[in-house]
Structure 1
Amino acid sequence: MSRKKRYLKIIIFNDIKYGSFLFAKFINYIMKNGKKQIAQKIFYYSINLISIKLKKNSFFLIKKILSNVQPMFEIKKRKIGGANYNIPFKINLKRSLMFAMKWIIKNSIKRNENGFKNKFVGELIDTYYNNSLSTKYKDNVIKISEQNKAYSNFKI
């Protein structure tokens, strides 16, 4: 018998307002110190503001924004024969969504606007039009994976 601990998957319930699993995940990534209501207020405010500004459905807007940022590859470092290689490999949908959401939140914190709500709205609008830091992260991952395509046969 193995002595390794087996972890149970945490069940995430759908969003209260829209009934979407995607929105619930986004709220959980925004949340700090267990303050979920504050994270929900921030998220709903930003979603409503974006849907008013761009005059489109909020659910399809978020899907479009996340598809603009989702990476198809992940890069891991591996030491082989005394040399370090960056090895690209394909990732599944859940992991790419995780990267996209975290990059958006991380880059919205770096923006020069007042309050996290306004920073988050600005980052979402910029990612919708493909000129934000989050889309640059995705482009960097694609560029590095193209450069290191030759090492993709190594196993991790």
Structure 2
Amino acid sequence: MSRKKQYYKTIILNDPKFGSYIIAKFINYIMKNGKKNLAQKIFYYSINIISIKLNKNPFFIIKKILYNVQPNFEIKKKKIGGTIYQIPFKINLKRSLMFSMKWIVKNSKKRNENGYKNKLVGELIDSYYNNSLSTKQKDELNNKTEQNKAYSNFKI
């Protein structure tokens, strides 16, 4: 019998404004040093600006942005017979959403606007129209999977 402590998965509550699990996860990726209220203010500010600019429902805007950025495949490296192969494989929805949220947050920090709120707004609007750094990152990953499609029969 194992003597390790059992790991319990933390339950993430839905966000207060929209009641969505996806938005609560996105806020958690924005959060820094445990300051959730600040992360919520940043996210809701950026969503309000985007909904005003695009004149659409903010929840559906976020869903479309995440759909535009989320990848379908992931690449893992495996050493077979002395050579390392990059093996593409299909990933599930939760993992692809995780990648898309992380990419949006990371690439919004690289932008040149003033303040993180404006950087996040710019990245989200660009990802809505499929010309942001995050969508380019997704396209690069798709190109890698196309190049390594021959190795997809290997097991990981």
TM-score, structure 1 as length reference: 0.97
| Unaligned runs of at least 5 residues, structure 1 | none
Amino acid at match of 1:89: F
Aligned-partner Cα distance in 1 for 2:152–2:10: 32
Counterpart residue number, 1:37: 37
Amino acid at match of 1:64: K
Q: How much identity, in percent, do the aligned residues show?
A: 78
Amino acid at match of 2:153: N
1:112 equivalent to 2:129? Answer: no
| Unaligned runs of at least 5 residues, structure 2 | none
CA deviation profile, 1:25-82 (whole Å, cap 9, x unmatched):
0000000110000000000000000000000000000000000001000111111111
Counterpart residue number, 2:82: 82
Distance 1:152 1:5, change over 3 A: farther
Amino acid at match of 1:63: K
TM-score, structure 2 as length reference: 0.97
Aligned-partner Cα distance in 2 for 1:57–1:147: 38
RMSD: 1.0
Aligned-partner Cα distance in 1 for 2:6–2:81: 34
Distance 1:75 1:40, change over 3 A: same
CA deviation profile, 1:63-118 (whole Å, cap 9, x unmatched):
00000001000111111111111110000000000000000000000001110000
Aligned-partner Cα distance in 2 for 1:4–1:142: 39
1:132 equivalent to 2:132? Answer: yes
Aligned-partner Cα distance in 2 for 1:21–1:32: 19
Counterpart residue number, 1:91: 91
Matched length: 156
